[in-house]
Amino acid sequence: MKIENVKVYDLEESVKASKYPMAISTDKCNFDITDTVKRLAQSPKGEAHDQFLSGIRVAFDLTFSNKAWIELERYRFITFVSSQSTMHRIAKFDLSQQYNEYVDKRIISIMNELKEQYNNTHDMEDYLKLLYSNPSGFELTARLTTNYRCLKGVYSQRKNHRLPEWRKFCNWIETLPYASELII
pTM beyond 0.85: yes
In tens, the pLDDT along 42-73 reads: 999 778 899 999 999 999 999 999 999 999 98
In tens, the pLDDT along 135-174 reads: 999 999 999 999 999 999 999 999 999 999 999 999 999 9
What percent of the chain shows pLDDT beyond 70?
Answer: 100
Average pLDDT over every residue of 167-184: 97
Neighbours of 127 (CB within 10 A): 19
Q: Following CA atoms 157, 159, 164, 166 in sequence, which dihedral angle do they give, to the nearest 10 degrees? A: 50
Q: What is the pLDDT of residue 41?
A: 96
Residue in 63, 65, 87, 77 with CA at minimum distance from that of residue 142: 63
Q: Of how many residues is the chain composed?
A: 184
Arithmetic mean of pLDDT over the chain? 95
Secondary structure of residue 26 in the 3-state scheme: helix
Average pLDDT over every residue of 1-19: 97
Extents of the domains making up the chain: 2-82+143-181, 96-133
Q: What is the pLDDT of residue 29?
A: 87
Q: What is the pLDDT of residue 158?
A: 96
8-state DSSP, 75: -
Q: What is the pLDDT of residue 36?
A: 93
- End-to-end CA gap in the chain: 21
For residue 183, what are the CA distances in angstroms to 43, 51, 165?
A: 10, 12, 19
> Is a pLDDT exceeding 90 seen at residue 74?
no
CA separation for the pair 111, 53 (Å, rounded): 43
Dihedral sign (CA 129, 135, 141, 142) = positive
Using an 8 Å Cβ cutoff, are 100 and 109 in contact? no
The secondary structure of the chain in percent helix, strand, coil, rounded to multiples of 5, reads 50, 20, 30
Average pLDDT over every residue of 34-45: 93
Q: Which amino acid is at 61?
A: D
Average pLDDT over every residue of 115-138: 98
For residue 120, what are the CA distances in angstroms to 15, 86, 103, 125, 132?
A: 57, 18, 25, 13, 18
Dihedral sign (CA 115, 164, 67, 74) = negative
Q: Which amino acid is at 92?
A: K
